[in-house]
């Protein structure tokens, strides 16, 4: 899907970059981020980024570091610039000059099953409950939830077709019986409200011709968490984290979870093993198998 571009004139380089991103079916959010991050380099240079030299890129990254730009932000800029130099400008020699910094990943915030249930029940309308249930029940990213269409619900094969995943990749997500029941309820209500159409968005925004925005979905999650008296810092991605963690705790193979999440690398999925406390509790210590010690009275707390 090619996203409409503004009528104001844009440079040939910018248009080529947009065409390259459209060809790879990058999401609207990814395109916006790439254009913004490449614009940072243009601002630093004071000229078009296609005139950058290896020394320019080195000075640019040093300045970012000196200015205290967070490591995740610097790495996101590297991703955008590597795409520009590799795909649009055919200058892989410059792309190799860009340094990606290592940084420790924070453990994701995960809700308990009870907290997820409370959060979903705290939503204010059926559309919001259905959208957040898709995020948790299928493990979708917030942008993927936003861009779902009615036709993406495949009730025969019990799948959700994700056509606008990260990096423009296609994949099939799981569709449970309970989630299908909820989506059918939302379809009936949405049709009565006149906002649902067979070829339209699964979760329309205020304008039924446009999908619900990721910003609105974030606000919905935060408000539902507050109403459910959940003190954790919660966002739409928290539901995806909880989906993966709960599957792992239930014994689902980590490679299956990788496929369901659409992760390109297994080590991204493996992060959930660090927060799957139920999995840790079910493991038998090799010390216990020795049978050396007999149970004593309860160990005092504190």
Active site positions, annotated = 141, 166, 237, 240, 263, 272
Query: Which strands, in side-by-side order, build the sheet including 159-162?
Result: 153-154, 159-162, 171-174
Of 116, 139, 172, residue with least CA distance to 240: 139
* Alpha-carbon gap, residue 286 to 277, rounded angstroms: 18
- C-alpha distances (whole Å) from 189 to each of 177, 184, 193, 202, 221 are 19, 9, 6, 12, 21
Structure tokens at 33: 């981020």
- Whether 228 contacts 236, CB under 8 Å: no
* Alpha-carbon gap, residue 76 to 37, rounded angstroms: 8
Tally: H helices and E strands in the chain:
14, 3
Structure tokens at 241: 């984290």
């Amino acid at each position: 899907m090619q996203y409409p571009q503004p009528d104001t004139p844009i440079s040939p380089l910018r248009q080529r970059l947009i065409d390259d991103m459209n060809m790879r079916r990058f999401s609207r959010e990814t395109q916006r981020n790439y254009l913004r991050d490449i614009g940072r380099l243009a601002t630093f240079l004071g000229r078009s980024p296609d005139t950058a030299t290896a020394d320019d890129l080195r000075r640019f990254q040093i300045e970012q570091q000196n200015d205290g730009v967070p490591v995740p932000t610097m790495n996101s800029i590297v991703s955008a610039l590597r795409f520009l130099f590799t795909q649009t400008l055919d200058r892989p020699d410059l792309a190799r000059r860009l340094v990606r910094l290592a940084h420790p990943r924070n453990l994701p915030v995960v809700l308990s099953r009870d907290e997820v249930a409370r959060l979903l029940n705290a939503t204010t309308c059926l559309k919001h409950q259905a959208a957040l249930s898709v995020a948790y029940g299928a493990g979708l990213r917030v942008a993927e939830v936003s861009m779902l269409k009615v036709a993406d619900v495949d009730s025969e094969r019990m799948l959700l077709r994700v056509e606008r995943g990260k990096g423009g990749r296609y994949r099939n997500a799981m569709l449970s019986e309970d989630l299908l029941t909820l989506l059918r309820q939302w379809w009936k209500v949405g049709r009565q409200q006149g906002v649902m159409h067979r070829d339209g968005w699964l979760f329309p925004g205020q304008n039924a011709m446009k999908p619900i925005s990721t910003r609105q979905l974030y606000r919905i999650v935060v408000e539902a968490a507050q109403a459910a008296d959940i003190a954790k810092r919660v966002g739409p991605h928290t539901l995806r984290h909880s989906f993966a963690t709960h599957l792992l705790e239930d014994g689902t193979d980590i490679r299956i979870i990788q496929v369901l999440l659409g992760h390109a690398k297994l080590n991204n999925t493996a992060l959930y093993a660090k927060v799957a406390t139920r999995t840790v509790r079910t493991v038998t210590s090799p010390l216990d198998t020795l049978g050396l010690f007999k149970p004593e009275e309860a160990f005092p707390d504190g």
